[in-house]
Amino acid sequence: MRWDVSGLKDHPRYAAAVESALEREPGIREVHANPVTGRLLLRFDRGLTRIAIEAKLRAALSSPPLAQEAYRRWQAQRAAAREARHGGEHRGHEGHEHGDVSVQVRNLVLGGSVLLGLGVKRLAFGAGALASNPIIGGVNIAATLISGYSFLKGWWRSIAGQTGMNTDTLVGSATIASLLLRENVTALTVLWLLNLGEYLQALTLKRTERAIRDLLEVPDEEIWQVVGEQEVRRPAAELQPGDMIAVYAGKRIPVDGAIVEGQGTINEAPITGESMPVMKMSGDTVYAGTVLLSGGLRARVERVGSDTAVGRLIQRVEQARELQAPIHTVGEEFSRRFVPASFALSIVVLALTGDATRALTMLLIACPCAAGLATPTAVSAAIGNGARRGVLIKGGTHLEAAARLDAIVFDKTGTLTQGIPTVQRVLSLVDDYTAEQVLSLAATGELHSQHPLALAVVGHAEERELVVQPHDVCEILVGRGMRADWRNNVVLVGNRRLMQQFDIAVSAEAEALYAKHAAEGETEMYVAHQGRLIGLIGVRDKVRPDVASSLAQLRREGVRRLAMLTGDLEESARAVAGVVGITEWRAQLLPEQKYEWIQQLKAAGLRVAMVGDGINDAPALALADVGIAMGTAGSDVAVEAADIALAADDIAGVVTTLRLSRQALKVIRQNYGVALGVNAGGLMIGAMGALNPFIAAVLHNLSTILVVLNSARLIGYEPKRPASASAAAARSGRPTRGGARPAPGAQDGERRAPRPARGAAASIP
């Protein structure tokens, strides 16, 4: 169970106190108070009621003196939620989100407007003119205090001992010292850049929550509900467990349920990750979010809304965000180590000299604004560089985390592969038909089918510029294939069951070829013409270009472990792993099992990235230290749950991300080195008794300029691209297209065969 508790946000000490108080309560199994999101996550015994849990929560929130303000806010929030249930749709929570973003927009507009005005003033009247104007000075100070309120509030909390030393302490100290020494423009510039970063992060979180809400909404506005002997069109949102629904080809299934009548071919890739559609019939389970490609069925509703499989995936995403440990950035490390010493130094100077100006000057030297700009300028330059290359990084913490990765885990379907079936081979099994004739006849038979395998066959024939004759009559035989009549010719394209249904003789040689290629991860289709088996077509999910060379580059970059986790069949997983050179893989995993594998890797001390594209990858993407989503092929929820999106759907973007993030981290450390150099220079000058506000201002602005120039180098940084797939293939002797290279796909055309238990694996114990 989760609660939004306003007092938790940005309040780690209070969060720890709440956790400590609740952990002692009987019946509470697990407590996570997250100061980043302001949410409380509880796990408790089934015997506890919600009323009892809320009573324990009230007691915990009201017990420490530190919690009084948060308790009052919490009570107001609960009252607003009760009012919203009667008079609106959760306006309080959404309004809170909107308010946060609105405040950041206000800060950006205010700070940017004042900076623009100061720039225009300097161009129009010169640098010195109006410098002592009290109105301009007052506006500048007011803009600095208003736009920097959140940072100054964090600075005060750290000074008061409510939190530890952090970047707010550094920024606040530099801002206060700058204002007192009349370095107003520098302080306002730093705050504007920091507010820009905060705004982008808040906007990303808002978009993520919106995508989650959109996913949980029933996708089809209306559904056919079976009432007695009739089918009645009803809003899908009104469905309840026990209702009966009818679903027809091309429609999305809105609920979890069991088929009681009919059959159909269903695309379950969003939930299971399987690359090929599966055949479902009476007694089988169907899931919300999947699509019925062909056939028709009636199903009894078992779960709706957040109780469905896709709803549980979203709960996993939220849980991962709650459990995600905060990333300790270089700026935080710098603040923890040097800010306390800086304050101590200023106090010593004040005590020895009694000169407040000299003490403030020492504080400005020890906490230069260059340190406040060290990370934002480098991060902005690196994010801009990545965006030009199709690597969309959502924030500086994710950039720094990517630089420290030890392990990268890849999804298969849609990530390492394109997620689109393509024809791998066309074989003629008789002497009087060529492979081109087999393909042309198969395309004629499949011409009006929307099944992914049919689209692959027709598309391949069109690419080869073969003649595809329009058929006169066609029949979709669900779970078996297609039958088409063309000028008194009968064409059959499908699996073994289709051949058996029409008494087509299949030789032992054809059976052996079928079994061999299916074991390599292909989906095989027999082609028969005029009652005679004439050919065999193999289809697979094509591996993305440059995957093998990109993975080799990642190994050379020092990534210790590369693994593949997929919900697809073992044959497909083995084939893809062999092509791309991954030895550590696991197949037929449910989304929860992918999530658990990421947990285990993190528990082993590894810093893990997850690369995926589907809804089923979203929990693992959210839990990983760095989540990377395929931007174009990826689902909205996967992209929003991830920290980085690859707009070009190119695995080489992972290499670019790693190199760019490491270069950015190197530049950030150099920037802090410049700040430390200013410290050292200022201290030496101070030791000689020559330090004054003018020299402090010179050193202060010099360090700021050096930091900005150093960060600007990232704008033109060129990460090396991985070698091309064709070059890698030439070195290894493997063909780049066609041939007998194994590649992914579904098990075979007969998808009603019993499946092995989920969790088939290789190399991963």
Strand 626-630 with 244-248, pairing: unpaired
Residues 466, 436: Cα–Cα separation, whole Å? 7
Residues 700, 375: Cα–Cα separation, whole Å? 17
Take residue 423 and report the two structure tokens written for it.
């024809």
Determine the longest span between alpha carbons in the chain, in angstroms.
107
Residues 678, 361: Cα–Cα separation, whole Å? 12
Burial of 689 (0-12, 13-18, 19+ CB in 10 A): exposed
Burial of 459 (0-12, 13-18, 19+ CB in 10 A): middle
Residues 254, 299: Cα–Cα separation, whole Å? 11
CB distance 751 to 497 below 8 Å = no
Judge whether 411 counts as a catalytic residue: yes
Strand 561-565 with 407-410, pairing: parallel
Q: Go through 429-443 and write b for each residue having 16 or more CB atoms within 10 A of its CB, e for each that does not.
A: beeebeeebbbbbbb
DSSP characters over 492-554 = EEE-HHHHHHTT----HHHHHHHHHHHHTTPEEEEEEETTEEEEEEEEEEEEPTTHHHHHHHH
Query: Any residues with CB less than 8 A from the CB of 387 and at least 6 apart, and which?
Result: 393
Q: How far apart are the first and last CA of the chain?
A: 33
Residue 263 parent element (H or E): strand 256-267
Residues 512, 490: Cα–Cα separation, whole Å? 25
* Active-site choice (100, 168, 256, 411): 411
Residues 230, 225: Cα–Cα separation, whole Å? 8
Alpha-carbon distances, residue 51 vs 77, 129, 310, 316 (angstroms)? 16, 66, 28, 24
Question: Annotated active-site positions, please?
Answer: 411
